[in-house]
């Protein structure tokens, strides 16, 4: 899974794109 939006990051657990909240990453 590739996230193209800079506000999203790929979750290593669910392997889906999720929204980043500041410096909080999944």
Q: Hey, where are the domains in the chain?
A: 1-25
pTM of the model: 0.26
Alpha-carbon span 11 to 3, nearest angstrom: 10
Look at residue 19 in the predicted model and tell me its pLDDT.
74
What pLDDT is recorded for position 16?
76
Residue indicated by tokens 């909240």 = 21
Query: Tens digit of pLDDT per residue, the chain (26 long)?
Result: 566 666 776 767 777 777 766 554 44
> Residue 26: its pLDDT value, please?
42
Instruction: Answer yes or no: are the C-beta atoms of 24 and 11 closer than 8 Å.
Output: no
22, 9 contact by CB (below 8 A): no
């Amino acid at each position: 899974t590739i996230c193209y939006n800079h506000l999203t990051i790929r979750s290593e657990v669910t392997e889906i794109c999720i929204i980043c909240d500041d410096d909080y990453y999944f």
